[in-house]
Structure 1
Amino acid sequence: MTAEQAPRRKRMPRAERERQMVEVAEAVFAERGYVAASMDDIAERVGVSKPMLYEYFNSKEGLLLACIGQARAELRVATEEAVAKAADAEDALRRGLLAFFTFIRDRRQSWSLLRHEMALIGTPAAEGIEATRRQQTDLIATLMAGYFDADSPLQVEASAEFVVGACERLAIWCERHDKITPEMATGYAMDLLWGGLHDRAIT
């Protein structure tokens, strides 16, 4: 077969290539940490040139921001879908918690990126991580407004912040205990959180 007769390799669509780059970068960042990870290694694993990575994301930090943004979007979808068919306030809280703990079990690489904020303080990546927290806080506050007595918006907001903070710490604890399933973590969280919320639930 001559060079003219050889079939041309189909070019990957930009969106698909970008998604591939983000997935590989997420794995490298999770394995090595952001500082130690190199664009050369990421490019080699993807099978593209380093200049192409920069063409898509401008910098290593831009690539990290894309990874965080993707993880944030997936976590939002998982949470919203979980609570969409809830029967009542308790069921909604349980479903939302289970979605979160299942996410961190199934997407350990994403969770690793989201939780290592201390090494990223003062960078746009830290703002991206805080945006993830704010996303979850807003989702929980909206949920509470629908299911709970919301006479005090500040109290609703404070409660949502508490839930997010408590679940972050519990998720980190779960990483040290491999036997803890998402269902077990959800049960632990419900035992503590629902006791303070059920009296405010709208019946």
Structure 2
Amino acid sequence: MTTAKRKRMPRAEREQQMIAVAEGVFTERGYAAASMDEIAELVGVSKPMLYEYFHSKEGLLLACIRQSRSALREATEQATARATSAEDALQRGLLAFFEFIRDRGEAWSLLRQEMALVGTPAADEIEETRRQQTDLIASLMSGHFDAEDTLRTEASAEFVVGACERLAIWCERFPEVTPRMATEYAMDLLWTGLSQRAT
């Protein structure tokens, strides 16, 4: 990484710059080893200014996770907005998820650091990301499956999220697996069961 030259910019833009740099440092070094001094230097600001924006290193990490969660939700919602069937909605949503992992590797890395953050607010934020995706999938399913069987719909959504999370981690070991290939693998298994409930 290279040190960014400090320049005047709007607060919101500066905040985004800080988050982007911190995301890279947290990913490269891990949360525990990451230094606010290094992040401040790379952004080109003083450490007190970094604390003024985020109050603590954990506050900065939480901001990174929340931004990643928002970006993932936006990508998934945009991808599924024009779905024409249950199968199409699932396929579009899965592809958006796997493309997010490919294109936003550092953001994904933060979202899967859960075991190192157990018992912290950051772990709660990561679980909230999982809940966000589960709720989104359940909402999509409710438009294509039996709306009265809400428990089964929620259980199915949990299964989809859990399975895709593990598949995404597996994909990290095989960079030759493209987002479309991962989507195909997931659809082969998931849609076999879900298709029986499609209306």
- SS of the equivalent of 2:138 reads helix
Unaligned runs of 5+ in 2: 1-5
The partner residue of 1:40 within 37, 41, 50 is 37
Paired amino acid for 1:190: M
CA offsets, 1:152-180, max 9 Å, x none?
11111110000000000000000000100
Query: 1:10 Cα deviation (Å)?
Result: 6.7
1:85 aligns with 2:82: yes
C-alpha deviation, 1:151, in angstroms: 2.2
Shift of 1:147: 1.1
State the alpha-carbon separation in 1 of the partners of residues 8 and 60 from structure 2.
22
- Which entry has the higher C-alpha Rg, 1 or 2? 1
Residue in 2 that maps onto 1:157: 154
Count of residues paired in the alignment: 194
Q: Taking every aligned residue pair, what percent have the same amino acid on both sides?
A: 76
CA distance in 2, matches of 1:40, 1:11: 20
Unaligned runs of 5+ in 1: 1-8
Aligned residue runs from structure 1 range 7-86, under 5 A? 11-86=8-83
> Structure 1 121/86 Cα, relative in aligned 2: closer, same or farther at 3 Å?
same
SS at match of 2:143: helix
Is 1:105 equivalent to 2:102 in the alignment? yes
Task: Tell me the TM-score normalised to structure 1 length.
Answer: 0.94
1:114 maps to 111
Q: Deviations over 1:94-126 (max 9, x none)?
A: 000000000000000000000010000000000
2:185 is aligned to: 188
RMSD: 1.0
Q: How many Å separate the matches in 1 of 2:146 and 2:178?
A: 32
1:173 pairs with 2:170: yes
- Distance (Å, rounded) in 1 between the aligned partners of 2:85 and 2:110: 33
